């Protein structure tokens, strides 16, 4: 390249290759012009590729969010079909995240567990309402069907590599396993049970027993904490029981505030429809 071209280029160079070609116009020979035009086209192409990549990432994220939201809605419906309040899934997520934090999990993993735990009973969507809503005790056959919900849940969530769904499928499959091997569906023992499943099992037990159901009243939270203690090493992993006991006061306080919020939300709906009473 001529030295006068180099001087002109350095003096007031712009970042836009097309403007550069115009600016240096007469100072360039034909091959330099073609070279610069080719580079300019390449720069345009690279920019278009970047935009496309960003749009693709955004669309994939939106699709993943939508999928997770659909699963969560399905899980809430499944719990409601079983007589649980819509907040049951939220509470299980919160308790599980708190126990995991006490066990030293990273904040990101706790957050992931908090979301994934909410899908634990999604498989109940595949259990007939006559079994889920039955007032009296279940027959042996009905129990056999009921005990299919972990497998159904794991198969609904599927074999995803996405971290949230992968963890959710693991939890759906393992949240009824017992530390001593007496649980279902696989009868896994001790550390064979994925840790997330062991944590959610305890959170689910605590929430189920402290919540009023049509066939039994809620037990006082302090009494359920004692029941958890007694089941350490049998139904629950002692390590997780210890972590739960260390923060049981915080969990009881949180439970209270979630229940109050639930009551408040209920009252809000009620107030909004006051005219229907007239
Ligand atoms: Fe379950
Ligand atoms: Fe549940």
Yes or no: say if 82 and 92 are a contact pair by the CB < 8 Å rule.
no
DSSP assignment of 105-161: --HHHHHHHHHHGGGTTGGGGGS-HHHHT-SSPPPHHHHHHHTTHHHHHHHHH-S--
Non-local (6+) Cβ contacts of 26 within 8 A are none
Distance 206 CA to ligand 2 centre (A): 10
Q: What is the pTM of this model?
A: 0.78
User: For residue 9, what pLDDT band results from cuts at 50, 70 and 90?
Assistant: low
- The domains of the chain, with CATH numbers, are 9-51 (no CATH), 63-264 (1.10.3210.10)
Q: Looking at residues 198-210, what average pLDDT do you find?
A: 96
79 alpha carbon, closest ligand: 2
Q: Pick the ligand that lies closest to the CA of residue 206.
A: 2
Residue 93 to residue 200: CA distance in whole angstroms: 8
How many C-beta atoms lie closer than 10 Å to residue 198's C-beta? 24
Per the prediction, the chain carries an average pLDDT of 87
Flag whether pLDDT at 41 surpasses 90. no
- Residue 206 Cα, ligand 1 centroid: separation in angstroms? 13
Q: Which ligand is nearest to the CA of 117?
A: 2
Q: Determine the distance separating the centroid of ligand 1 and the alpha carbon of 69, expressed in angstroms.
A: 20
Pick left, alpha or beta for residue 190 (phi over 0 → left; psi -120 to 50 → alpha; otherwise beta). Answer: left
């Amino acid at each position: 390249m001529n030295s006068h071209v180099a001087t002109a280029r350095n003096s007031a160079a712009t970042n836009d290759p097309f403007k550069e070609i115009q600016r240096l116009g007469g100072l360039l020979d034909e091959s330099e012009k073609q070279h610069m035009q080719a580079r300019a086209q390449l720069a345009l192409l690279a920019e278009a590729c970047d935009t496309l990549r960003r749009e693709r990432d955004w669309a994939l994220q939106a699709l993943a969010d939508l999928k997770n939201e659909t699963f969560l809605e399905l899980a809430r419906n499944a719990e409601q079909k079983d007589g649980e309040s819509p907040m049951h899934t939220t509470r299980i997520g919160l308790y599980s995240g708190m126990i995991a934090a006490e066990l030293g999990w990273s904040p990101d993993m706790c957050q992931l567990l908090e979301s994934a735990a909410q899908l634990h009973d999604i498989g109940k969507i595949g259990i007939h309402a006559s079994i889920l809503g039955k007032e009296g005790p279940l027959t042996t056959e009905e129990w056999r069907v009921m005990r299919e919900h972990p497998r159904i849940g794991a198969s609904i969530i599927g074999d995803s590599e996405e971290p949230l769904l992968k963890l959710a499928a693991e939890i759906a499959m393992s949240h009824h396993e017992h530390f001593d091997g007496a649980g279902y569906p696989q009868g896994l023992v001790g550390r064979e049970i994925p840790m997330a499943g062991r944590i959610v099992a305890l959170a689910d037990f605590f929430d189920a027993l402290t919540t009023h159901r049509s066939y039994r009243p809620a037990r006082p939270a302090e009494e359920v904490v004692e029941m958890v203690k007694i089941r350490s090493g049998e139904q629950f992993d002692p390590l997780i029981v210890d972590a739960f006991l260390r923060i049981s006061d915080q969990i009881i306080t949180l439970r209270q505030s979630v229940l109050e919020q639930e009551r408040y939300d209920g009252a809000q709906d009620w107030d909004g429809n006051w005219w229907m009473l007239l």
